[in-house]
Amino acid sequence: MIVERIEYVVNTTTRFVVDFWVRHWPLLLLILCAVLDFLGADDIISRLVFAASFVGTVACLKAFHLERCFWIYGLAFMGLPFVAFDPVNIHEIQKYLHLEALDYNIIWRITEAVQWTGVIIALSVGLYFLRFRHRVSPLVLIKIPLTTFVMYLFLQPFFMLTWFILIMQVYGILGIPE
């Protein structure tokens, strides 16, 4: 009798956890990245920008029903090797926009996110008018760049770590046997 109750509790709990994970795995991984990035933020402005990008990412993914769309994650992930700024350029942008009070890393993340969003806008408009004009709503020209912007702004440190590990693996620096 007691064994059957314990078995029932374990089975229902396991079923609930697995079902919850299957339904919400992207958001749970985003929360994990949020906790790790929030602990690494130094000042209050960095934490505010970070919190705004996290809320924007979750809101865009849920509102546009893109949380399980692998292509959005891949699109944001592919931005890192294609956008690069020299530290001197970031300091010039800081001086030109009078943002010396903000952290260098925040300016760097925002600048890269804006640049990659510009590329995504150009690609989205081109693909929309060349191929998908009759199949897709024109709202996709707003949904995809907006989601990519906030996602790249939020996940840029995670993307940097992932690209770094991939490059180290390609060059054999990690020492992991094949």
At 7 the pLDDT is 84
At 149 the pLDDT is 92
DSSP 71-94: HHHHHHHTHHHH----HHHHHHHH
Give the mean model confidence (pLDDT) for residues 47-68. 85
Q: Give the model confidence (pLDDT) of 66-123 as tens digits.
A: 888 888 888 888 887 777 777 777 888 888 888 877 777 788 888 888 888 888 888 8
**How many other CB atoms are there within 10 angstroms of residue 56's CB atom?**
17
Instruction: Say yes or no to pLDDT of 154 above 70.
Output: yes
Q: Domain segments of the chain: what residues?
A: 2-170
Alpha helices in the chain (DSSP H): 2-40, 44-63, 70-77, 79-82, 87-96, 104-127, 140-170
Tell me the pTM: 0.76
